[in-house]
């Protein structure tokens, strides 16, 4: 009975958080549409902003559904092993234009023999979320390095940047659903990317943690998988 109560409490908390996260872009969307109906309004610009709000809500709903699949076990994360290098190359090729617009550099240090016990799609989800997170929060001019290598009986996949970083008090909470530090609240994002990463990695038998980047700069997220 206590377990059922705890589940219901967790479910209620998640529903409340989702409602809160959707309410903000919905309010902005309504305000934009009302502004577009006023005489002399810059209709095209306002509609573009409205489109951006709709895209943000769509991204949020997609992430919520995907996270629900992971938590319920409906999404299979591991079927054999996948080489890291080609997936990282594909993801960085897609994200490099976005990084360049922010004056950021993407670097790869992936060993050719590095592999992880994830389906290719799930590995792509992990890398995309980690690199997108670095691009979004590291700041202009930062460098983001994606590395993967075998260390003894594990494979370590790491995404590290030398950007703004996070306060020490925030590092342990980065994988919570919808958690955003003070700086992150000023940027667009669903607040679910690192939660998704954690679920994928742990379901594959691995561990994930966040820490200060090399030299005490920026942020490093390390995913450790059994070989």
Q: Of the given ranges (2-11, 29-38, 71-80, 102-111), which has the lowest mean pLDDT?
A: 2-11
Q: Where are the beta strands (DSSP E) in the chain?
A: 82-83, 105-110, 115-116, 143-151, 154-161, 207-212, 219-226
The answer to pTM > 0.75 is: no
Question: Could you state, in order of their start, the residue ranges of all structural domains in the chain?
Answer: 2-72, 82-226
Summary mean pLDDT of the chain: 80
Q: What is the pLDDT of residues 35-49, one digit of tens each?
A: 888 888 888 888 888
The yes-or-no verdict on residue 1 having pLDDT over 50 is no
Q: Which of 46-50, 78-82, 188-192 has the highest mean pLDDT?
A: 46-50
Instruction: Give me the CATH code for the 82-226 domain, please.
Output: 3.30.565.10
Q: What is the pLDDT of residues 207-222, one digit of tens each?
A: 999 988 777 788 999 9
The yes-or-no verdict on residue 66 having pLDDT over 80 is no
The yes-or-no verdict on residue 76 having pLDDT over 50 is yes
pLDDT number for residue 182: 46
CATH number belonging to the domain at 2-72, selected among 3.30.2320.20, 1.10.287.130, 3.40.50.970, 3.40.1400.10 = 1.10.287.130
pLDDT number for residue 7: 43
pLDDT number for residue 185: 42
């Amino acid at each position: 009975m206590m377990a059922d109560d705890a589940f219901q409490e967790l479910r209620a908390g998640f529903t409340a958080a989702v409602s809160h996260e959707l309410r903000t872009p919905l309010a902005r969307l309504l305000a934009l549409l009302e502004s577009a109906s006023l005489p002399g309004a810059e209709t095209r610009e306002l509609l573009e902003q409205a489109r951006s709000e709709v895209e943000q809500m769509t991204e949020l709903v997609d992430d919520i559904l995907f996270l629900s699949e992971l938590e319920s076990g409906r999404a299979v994360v591991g079927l054999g092993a996948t080489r890291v290098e080609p997936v990282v190359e594909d993801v960085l090729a897609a994200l490099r234009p976005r990084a360049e617009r922010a004056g950021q550099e993407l670097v790869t240090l992936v060993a050719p023999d590095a592999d992880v016990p994830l389906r290719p799609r799930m590995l792509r989800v992990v890398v995309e979320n980690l690199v997108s997170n670095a691009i979004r929060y590291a700041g202009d001019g930062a460098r983001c390095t994606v590395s993967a290598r075998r260390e003894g009986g594990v494979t370590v996949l790491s995404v590290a940047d030398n950007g703004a970083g996070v306060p020490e008090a925030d590092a342990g909470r980065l994988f919570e659903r919808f958690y955003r530090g003070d700086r992150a609240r000023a940027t667009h994002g669903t607040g679910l990317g690192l939660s998704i990463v954690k679920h994928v990695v742990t379901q594959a038998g691995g561990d994930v943690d966040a820490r200060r980047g090399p030299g005490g700069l920026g942020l490093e997220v390390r995913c450790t998988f059994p070989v």
